Structure 1
């Protein structure tokens, strides 16, 4: 069953608190307090909490986080509640402005925006770690909790506060409507949490910096969650993130590292026809047959590759995709194998008309 009241909260970060094991050794959080401009009559700067800890407070030990009048709170998990595997998985996309969803996010009003009825598709406003091409899964890092030094989240959160950045928090709104949680992957769960599984309802933190205009995406998952899920968000493989991330440099049979999308191209011909193609590279040391593999765009259009298509070991080839339209503004391109599992996914975002007659090259 999907989580309740899924949406995105547009606001500005103000301060944060970090919980250590001494504060909560089961389910600690980083509490990020933010201002969305909706409570103009509240002066949070006069509260004891704000006077004591300041606008740029770093982590502290002490009682559980409290609500601060005039501010809302994001409860960001920094440890899994599964005793056998309590680590988190961390991904950062520091060039998120290339994702097509930023155009739509910039149009949202401040405050909480419900996405209950938004389309479940790549390029839309709902997040999906597996289907949305939000980041390269191979860049994930496993994070133990309460290690020496600052948590990996803290420098980016502090930077966002210092630079008065704009943040977009994806997750589930509190029942009290004064905050948001489940700001992490919400599919492929194990045990009692499988009831929360669904697709296109993952959490995340997107940051837009005012001076540079750059977007940074921060994404968290639990180490015990599955790498592959079905259309209900339930696990369809036994492979969990620790197995996958610890093996990417050692195994040649991993789905996500076998074939990459290196380039997408739209060529305008004198006959006014548009030839669309993708360039694929086999990154393994063996031939990979591509029969029944598909290329899919954000609109859901898909085209099977030719029945005799294959890629020799460590080779690159161009494949026509005449039945899949690629937007000249922004789109996602996803490669799916014969089992329906995602092999690679990329996204791009450009000014209108820039893509037509040109190519987009993707870094891996």
Structure 2
């Protein structure tokens, strides 16, 4: 069974704040900010890196994003848009769609140290603050919170190993899946949009129809 996936179209109502979440082997960092969705304030958590130099992010921060999907998204209404089970754009799949075709090379994130200076946290903060100040529409793709109002997993959501392996009929874990990748897009009022894409170094591609790494898969 697929996890609850989709996107929200909204405007930022509280400035981004860098927060740390301790995992078993690392600390992950997110830019958290608030958006107004269907009359309620939602929390958005955008991954920006870890303190583990063996599991950093690959990321793309694109200020001249061009893709036909922005026409589709621009015509959607503000609010939440479930896409669970959708196997085509506007659901996002880094491997099975051409969403990344004109976005250039992946960059390596810095090792996060708890400050807001490492990349991509610093640049994403400036982008989000600009979007808030200009009341720009932002589009956040990811998985909806199981409890409360929010969206997270704004990174590639396939190709992980270990406890993230997707086993048919087992929905007890935060597993891989296809057409569930996360990202952030911002309509800044220019001819092109800005876009942020991310994947962990330990996530491997290509993947099978469940989103699990194929034999001999490599980091993105």
**TM-score normalised by structure 1 residue count:** 0.51
Note if contact 1:72-1:179 (Cα within 8 Å) is conserved in structure 2.
yes
Query: Whose strand proportion is higher, 1 or 2?
Result: 2
- Mapping of 1:278-297 within 5 angstroms? none
1:1-364 mapped onto 2 (5 Å cutoff): 2=2, 4-14=3-13, 15-19=15-19, 26-36=27-37, 38-39=38-39, 70-80=40-50, 85-96=54-65, 98-118=66-86, 120-121=87-88, 124-136=89-101, 139-143=105-109, 144-146=111-113, 149=117, 151=121, 152-195=123-166, 196-210=175-189, 212-236=190-214, 237-241=216-220
Distance 1:21 1:8 in 2: 23
Mapped partners of 2:183, 2:21: distance in 1 = 23
Name the residue aligned to 1:292: none
Is the 1:190–1:225 Cα contact (8 Å) retained in structure 2? yes
Hey, what's the Cα distance between the residues in 1 that align with 2:150 and 2:21? 23
Distance in 2, Cα, partners of 1:191 & 1:181: 20
Structure with larger Rg = 1
In 2: Cα distance, 1:231 partner to 1:7 partner: 19
Distance 1:148 1:107 in 2: 34
Over 3 Å counting, the alpha-carbon distance change for 1:20 and 1:175 in structure 2 is closer
TM-aligned CA deviation for residue 148 of structure 1 = 6.9
Distance in 2, Cα, partners of 1:138 & 1:102? 18
Q: Distance in 2 between matches of 1:84 and 1:92?
A: 20
Indicate the SS of the match to 1:103.
helix
2:158/2:178 contact within 8 Å kept:
yes
1:177 shift after superposition: 4.4
The TM-score normalised by the length of structure 2 is: 0.81
Equivalent residues, number: 201
> Which contiguous aligned blocks of 4+ residues in structure 1 show a shift greater than 4 angstroms?
none
Whether the 8 Å contact between 1:93 and 1:135 is mirrored in structure 2 is no
What is the CA distance between 1:216 and its match in structure 2? 1.4
Offset at residue 145 of structure 1 (A): 1.6
